[in-house]
A and B are shown apart, each in its own frame.
Chain A
């Protein structure tokens, strides 16, 4: 996360770290139910073998596992069938854990939006992750507040790529908060009246985050995928026979 700040432990209990040996942290991910995590397809593409992955929850400093850490192996990886590497569209993936997490105040799921719920431009939300800070890779979880911008305005920053209804854009002034490499798959969340946090985006792609070029971060639009997500969880939970 560029331009953010170090998060207080437990502040984002749904944030998880998708890890694979020998490199450790590869991507961010988000807990949405006791046995289910969301991330983006481009983190898993070409490495869809569940056995090489593990998911770590309840962690703030990647280098110092706390007492609240829970680690789970991966049982199933479901990439969206329309994921396109060339245009980074339909960039979403569901991961089934090998067993439930224990819900604690440091490990608990985020809410999913309803399909009709969409984010209006100029809404402020938060992004979090252990991605590049511009000058180094952090050990401690970073957070930052970003402003949602319209898809039309977002398209004006990208010539080669097309911004689609499966995407959300946020933040764009250079020097303000932005996501970066290593944040992929992590959450863009917004607080609802009443204090509940809802997951609207997953960090997906954007301009080269620490170059001079301006450009917003682009996030997978979770509202667009909610029905697919719920369908997949239903099929893999109830239609086992």
Chain B
């Protein structure tokens, strides 16, 4: 087309010359549709023969579920190949010309599989009428026919020992689907190039190991991921950071996990909760000297809770209690967290710790239905 916005306008509009609007209207693009990643060609262009305008649209289409399921019935050996020639039509990268499937391929697929669909009350996709495709070798129009090394199964299938294709989700699901039961053989994680959780035998991709997201019930996939020195602690992403940098107000782990959960509430026997601040991976009581209500508000907010409801100063009985006290000029620091405002090693004159109760965030309430008297 003459205008660079050709792709949109070509989708069925008359802006382009109808005789070749589909051939030189859009550029070739690499195939990304996972279902068709094992074809003898790897470029396509859109719209395809089913009217989908993009590969994303094709990937969520009805046909992208229908054909893989139909392939399992073994109704036609090259059904998946035919399905892909209309879902992601071949595009010749040199000429940007589209290479359609041959009419015979379409007719064989339809002839063998339409009746199978009929059994379950479904129809062959409407706009795959075969005479839109060229005869093989007719007036030098090239078209696609499967050669002997074409893959019968898509990457989303498992190939049974008998050659049949079943969907990969059926592999090792405890139900044999192949006529030779081969989909329930070699089901160990190792055989499938996966990693096994010791606690529940669950299989995991290797990329999930030590990636900071626990997957095994006992988090074993996130253990033994790094070997830190004695004076270091392991971050969530398994880096090692020295212990005295934990909860100092500056993120040293790349994922900032050394500054997580630095302020908590610890419950004691009579259910009041004391404000606890962590420093160098050790829990400390917070000294009440100079405490203000704005600090209670910051503490509750930092813990993801609502407003503070009760702040009390409780005398501390223990002599050798470890304290964190407020920085002498905490109000001038532009800190965003409470633990940044606290320092270690100072004495607590009042010898009293902070007891704090925070309300829960108010949420999930709907206005009462308005009753308008008439």
Considering the complex, which residues of chain B in the window 69-128 have a beta carbon less than 8 Å from any beta carbon of chain A? 69, 72, 121-122
A105 within 8 Å of B by Cβ?
Answer: yes
Question: Cβ of B256 and Cβ of A239 under 8 Å apart?
Answer: yes
CB distance from A86 to the nearest CB of B (A): 5
Contact partners of B3 in chain A: CB under 8 A: none
Chain A, residue nearest B33 (CB):
A86
CB distance from B256 to the nearest CB of A (A): 5
B156 within 8 Å of A by Cβ?
Answer: yes
Question: Cβ of B169 and Cβ of A159 under 8 Å apart?
Answer: yes
Chain B, residue nearest A198 (CB):
B364
Known: A11-B366, A198-B364. A239 touches B213 (CB 8 A): no
Q: In the docked arrangement, what's the CA distance between A80 and B202, Å?
A: 22
Q: In the docked arrangement, what's the CA distance between A87 and B65, Å?
A: 13
Which one, B170, B337, B363, B369, contacts A110 given CB within 8 A? B363
Which one, B69, B211, B363, B366, contacts A160 given CB within 8 A? B69
Question: Cβ of B65 and Cβ of A109 under 8 Å apart?
Answer: no
A213 within 8 Å of B by Cβ?
Answer: yes
Question: Cβ of A197 and Cβ of B364 under 8 Å apart?
Answer: yes
Q: In the docked arrangement, what's the CA distance between A233 and B361, Å?
A: 14
Question: Cβ of A160 and Cβ of B304 under 8 Å apart?
Answer: no
A161 within 8 Å of B by Cβ?
Answer: yes
B365 within 8 Å of A by Cβ?
Answer: yes
Known: A159-B65, A197-B364, A239-B259. A8 touches B369 (CB 8 A): yes
Contact partners of A161 in chain B: CB under 8 A: 169
Contact partners of A196 in chain B: CB under 8 A: 363-365
B290 within 8 Å of A by Cβ?
Answer: no
Q: In the docked arrangement, what's the CA distance between A15 and B302, Å?
A: 26
B250 within 8 Å of A by Cβ?
Answer: yes
CB distance from A218 to the nearest CB of B (A): 12
Considering the complex, which residues of chain B in the window 229-281 have a beta carbon less than 8 Å from any beta carbon of chain A? 249-251, 256, 259-260
Q: In the docked arrangement, what's the CA distance between A158 and B62, Å?
A: 12
CB distance from B210 to the nearest CB of A (A): 14
Most buried by B among A86, A155, A158, A159: A159
Known: A159-B170, A230-B304. A238 touches B336 (CB 8 A): yes
CB distance from A69 to the nearest CB of B (A): 16
Q: In the docked arrangement, what's the CA distance between A100 and B196, Å?
A: 45
A120 within 8 Å of B by Cβ?
Answer: no
Which one, A33, A110, A155, A231, contacts B364 given CB within 8 A? A110
B179 within 8 Å of A by Cβ?
Answer: no
B34 within 8 Å of A by Cβ?
Answer: yes
Question: Cβ of A162 and Cβ of B364 under 8 Å apart?
Answer: no
Chain B, residue nearest A155 (CB):
B169
**What is the size, in residues, of chain A's interface with B at 8 Å between Cβ atoms?**
45
- Describe A's contact surface by its main secondary structure: loop
A10 within 8 Å of B by Cβ?
Answer: yes
Question: Cβ of B34 and Cβ of A195 under 8 Å apart?
Answer: no
B288 within 8 Å of A by Cβ?
Answer: no
A211 within 8 Å of B by Cβ?
Answer: yes
Which one, A12, A33, A238, contacts B366 given CB within 8 A? A12
CB distance from A233 to the nearest CB of B (A): 7
Question: Cβ of B156 and Cβ of A235 under 8 Å apart?
Answer: no
Question: Cβ of A231 and Cβ of B250 under 8 Å apart?
Answer: no
Which one, B61, B167, B336, B363, contacts A239 given CB within 8 A? B336
Considering the complex, which residues of chain A in the window 218-240 have a beta carbon less than 8 Å from any beta carbon of chain B? 230-231, 233-235, 237-240
Contact partners of A64 in chain B: CB under 8 A: none
A111 within 8 Å of B by Cβ?
Answer: yes
B68 within 8 Å of A by Cβ?
Answer: yes
A136 within 8 Å of B by Cβ?
Answer: no
Question: Cβ of B65 and Cβ of A160 under 8 Å apart?
Answer: yes
CB distance from A33 to the nearest CB of B (A): 7
B367 within 8 Å of A by Cβ?
Answer: yes
Contact partners of B72 in chain A: CB under 8 A: 159
Chain B, residue nearest A215 (CB):
B65
Contact partners of A208 in chain B: CB under 8 A: 60-62, 65
Question: Cβ of B361 and Cβ of A106 under 8 Å apart?
Answer: no
Question: Cβ of B366 and Cβ of A159 under 8 Å apart?
Answer: no
Known: A159-B65, A238-B302. 4 other contacts (CB 8 A): A8-B369, A160-B167, A196-B363, A239-B336
Interface residues of A (CB under 8 A from B): 8, 10-14, 32-33, 82, 86, 105-106, 108-112, 155, 158-162, 189, 192, 195-198, 205, 207-208, 211-213, 230-231, 233-235, 237-241
Could you show 22 A-B contacts with beta carbons less than 8 Å apart?
A13-B367, A14-B364, A82-B213, A86-B34, A108-B365, A110-B363, A159-B69, A159-B167, A159-B170, A160-B35, A160-B65, A160-B69, A195-B365, A196-B365, A197-B366, A211-B62, A213-B62, A231-B260, A238-B337, A239-B251, A241-B249, A241-B251
What are the 3 closest A-B residue pairs judged by CB atoms, nearest first? A105-B367, A111-B364, A196-B364
